[in-house]
Amino acid sequence: MAVFLPGSVKFFSIETRAMDQEAKRLDIDLVTFNAGWDPYVQIEQVENVLLGKTFDAIALCSVDNQAMSAIIKLIREKSIPFVTFTNGVGHTQNQPSAIVNAHIGRDELKAGQILGKAVELLARDTPINIVLIEGAPGTAPQRFREKGFLDSFDAHKDHWTLIEKLLIPGWNIQIVAREIQRMVDEKTLGTVIVTQWAEAAVAVVHILQKNKIKDIKVVTLEFTQDVKNFMHTGDIQYATYSSIAEEGQKVIQTVQKLMDGEHVNFFIEIPQVLVTPGIARGIVPEW
């Protein structure tokens, strides 16, 4: 089985570890490819695997869902199980596809809406200025998360102002820190910072602490031990939780079912919840 990753972040380390463990349990051999956030590298990797005829199944987490359309014809010619996880292909996140047997992951639109709900709980109808931090390149799930959040934003646009949207190349934490420090220096930081991944939120908190700033609220996707610690100290107000390990396990289990000729649902959703400080005490982070 070939597993294609878009790039390297801690999220995928947890996910692939769970895949490896589940594959070992089910006696499936995995070969993992990493595209380094380059869609053209990933296209070449997938093409080589499809043309090589040495794999019985493919699991793909795409760098760019639209770029992958370049090899749709080649994928259609194959009869091996083909699933996507975390980052899908095409223009929709959970609708049946002509080329993909199943997609495993969160509902990313909901993820953005949960972030919006967190900001609602913080702000109510109080005027706030928001900084939104996203990674780059902009994957399809990222765009869905943004849409979900902006849907909430639009419902409160009389009171909420989006003062800056930061797209961080390569999800680089040093760049997050540099950009937040810049906004501190320029006094343009706003009142609420929303991040799409845990390490970004942690980097934000470190800069706020360094500058002795205590009146900025932080909400984030993902729940790590560092996030939990900062929720305990009041430096991060809300987070979200879904099991990355479960997602990795479901990828392998789904492929096994397809190889056995079993029916699977197209969208296999990994549940996610809003994490409040009270709930956080009872959740064990996966990293």
Alpha-carbon 187 to chain mean position: 30
- Alpha carbons 211 and 287: distance in angstroms, whole number: 27
Do 104 and 81 touch, CB atoms closer than 8 A?
A: no
Q: What is the mean pLDDT of residues 58-82?
A: 82
132 phi, psi to nearest 5 deg: -110, 125
Q: What is the mean pLDDT of residues 153-174?
A: 90
In this prediction, residue 183 carries a pLDDT of 95
Give tens-digit pLDDT for 201-255. Answer: 999 999 999 999 999 999 999 999 999 999 999 999 999 999 999 999 999 999 9
Please provide the DSSP assignment of 62-98 as one string.
-S-TTGGGGGHHHHHT--S-EEEESB-SSS-SSS--S
Q: What is the mean pLDDT of residues 86-110?
A: 80
- Helix H or strand E segment including 219: strand 217-220
pTM value is 0.86
Domains and CATH numbers, the chain: 2-105+243-271 (3.40.50.2300), 109-241 (3.40.50.2300)
Q: What is the mean pLDDT of residues 68-87?
A: 83
In this prediction, residue 240 carries a pLDDT of 96
In this prediction, residue 90 carries a pLDDT of 65
Amino acid occupying residue 22: E
Give the helix ranges, DSSP H, for the chain: 10-25, 39-52, 72-76, 108-123, 140-155, 173-186, 198-210, 225-232, 244-259, 277-280
Instruction: Specify the 3-state DSSP secondary structure of 211.
Output: coil
Which carries the bigger pLDDT value, residue 56 or residue 137? Answer: 56
In this prediction, residue 137 carries a pLDDT of 67
Top mean-pLDDT range of 61-70, 72-81, 235-244: 235-244
Q: What is the mean pLDDT of residues 275-283?
A: 92
Q: What is the mean pLDDT of residues 100-108?
A: 91
Confidence bin at 3 (pLDDT 50/70/90): very high
**Three-point CA angle 66, 69, 72, nearest 5°:** 155
Average pLDDT, the chain: 91
In this prediction, residue 273 carries a pLDDT of 95
Parallel/antiparallel/unpaired status of strands 239-241 and 273-275: antiparallel
In this prediction, residue 157 carries a pLDDT of 87
**Three-point CA angle 170, 210, 235, nearest 5°:** 80
Q: 166 pLDDT exceeds 90?
A: yes
Q: 258 pLDDT exceeds 90?
A: yes
In this prediction, residue 87 carries a pLDDT of 84
Q: 93 pLDDT exceeds 90?
A: no
Does the CA dihedral 170-173-176-181 come out positive or negative? negative
Q: 70 pLDDT exceeds 80?
A: no
Do 225 and 198 touch, CB atoms closer than 8 A?
A: no
Q: 274 pLDDT exceeds 90?
A: yes
- Alpha carbons 33 and 45: distance in angstroms, whole number: 7
- Alpha carbons 32 and 224: distance in angstroms, whole number: 24
In this prediction, residue 95 carries a pLDDT of 64
